Amino acid sequence: MDFNNTEIAFSGKSNTDLKRSYWLFKIIGWNWLIKIGPLLLKIFMPLWIPIPIIKATVFKQFCGGESIDECENTIKELSSHNVKTILDYSVEGKEEETVFDSNVREAIAVIKKAKSNTNIPFSVFKPSGFGRFELLQKVNTKHLLTQNEEAEFERVKNRIDKMCAASFDASIPIFIDAEETWIQNPVDEIALEMMRKYNKEKTIVFNTAQMYRIDRITYLNELKTIAENEGFFIGMKLVRGAYIEQERDRAKKMSYDDPMHKTQEDTDKDFNLAVKFCIENIEKISLCCASHNEKSNLLLIDLMKKHSIDISDNRIYFAQLLGMSDHISNNMGKKGYNVAKYVPYGPVKDVTPYLIRRAEENTSMAGQTGRELSLILAEQQRRKSI
Ligand SMILES: Cc1cc2nc3c(=O)[nH]c(=O)nc-3n(C[C@H](O)[C@H](O)[C@H](O)COP(=O)(O)OP(=O)(O)OC[C@H]3O[C@@H](n4cnc5c(N)ncnc54)[C@H](O)[C@@H]3O)c2cc1C
């Protein structure tokens, strides 16, 4: 597998696209701008001034469109590289019951779309899109809920059950994204319930394990024991984790032990151990390796070979985010591996908080933007030389 083949990586990109991507990644690398960006947007967003600028730049790079229909071109473009699409409705931070209910309708629309389009193998949701963050946080602490909160939490569980049931009926597996540790316990518990209910015959529901957490290998082992005892399949999306700064800040502020690994090496070690664990238990576990890390992707490729697993075995998927690491997605797609991109979508104004979060995450990802920049430069050089 040669991830350095920039001709394949950028084959769908015009010279103008490459220039735009270059400048975007350059700007994302400017920490000062990313730090003051949210404030600038807060000031100017009500005037709608930034919308056209965002739409033509970051939105174009990292999002598929404002609606499911608008993502059609992106789905086609990705499929021309044998890369599938995971439509990700990325509206964050709206905490109203009506919004939570309309998020369910949107998720079910995605499942329907996936049923009619073989280029969409999964659907996905972020639990905090279906219930108040503070409520999940309270459930996490195991504090007694009031009667109203009990009823509210029931509604959250019902919404999630409705989406998993729709996934089950459509036979389209669904990913449950992982979020901050201080809301993750109820999410893990709901995910377990959903696996018990819908993964009896095959894997429909996938939870996500953030391997920057020190306790996730134990979590995987415990889940495997439960699944073996009760007879259901496990779906697991493995990620390193996107909230490291918030996690460390909170642990420091509230004086509890940091639940994160101390170093990237430790996170890498556990991520790779988790990949091995899933492959060694592939009869029971379906795996999505959601990573831009070349070494982890190569490790999984090697393990598949070692265990004589066909490259198109649908228990194993690789996934990256739209607009990033095309050198991994496109080169793997070309070779015939199951590979997909998360394609965020939603109205520009509502998706902007997600885009800011991603940009902030990029600044903390050592080498990620640098890697993107050097690949774009290599491709520009290659095009000039022919
Ligand atoms: C398809 C897809 C789905 C995703 N879903 C989720 C999700 O549900 N929940 C979620 O949280 N994230 C999710 N992510 C985001 C993912 O967690 C980040 O993209 C990821 O952390 C970047 O890591 P990487 O594997 O691409 O590799 P790299 O870029 O090699 O790793 C960077 C990561 O390593 C970890 N790290 C860096 N420095 C340190 C340190 N000093 N100590 C400990 N650890 C460190 C951090 O997690 C950091 O983000 C998803 C990503 C993809 C591609």
Q: Give pLDDT tens digits for 47-57.
A: 666 778 888 88
Ligand 1 pocket, 275 CB below 6 A?
no
* pLDDT score, position 40: 67
Reported as a single tens digit per residue, the pLDDT across 318-345 is 999 999 999 999 999 999 999 999 999 9
Residue 344 to residue 50: CA distance in whole angstroms: 19
Which residues of the chain are modeled with pLDDT < 70?
30-49, 93, 360-367
Helix (H) or strand (E) holding 321: strand 316-321
Residue 264 to residue 240: CA distance in whole angstroms: 9
* pLDDT score, position 27: 78
Contact residues for 175 (Cβ-Cβ < 8 A; gap 6+): 86, 122, 123, 124, 125, 206, 208, 235, 237, 288
- Give the angle subtended at the CA of 229 by the CAs of 228 and 231, to the nearest 5°: 60
pTM, full prediction: 0.94
Ligand 1 atom 51 nearest Cα: 290
* pLDDT score, position 240: 96
* pLDDT score, position 34: 65
Ligand 1 atom 22 nearest Cα: 240
Answer left, alpha or beta for residue 325, where phi above 0 means left and psi between -120 and 50 means alpha. left
Contact in structure between 161 and 191 (CB atoms under 8 Å): no
Ligand 1 atom 42 nearest Cα: 263
* pLDDT score, position 30: 67
Pocket test for ligand 1, best of 25, 240, 265, 341 (most atoms within 8 A of CB): 240
CATH assignment of 64-345? 3.20.20.220
Which residue's structure tokens are 């473009």?
Answer: 77
* pLDDT score, position 367: 67
Lookup: tokens for 23:
């400048």
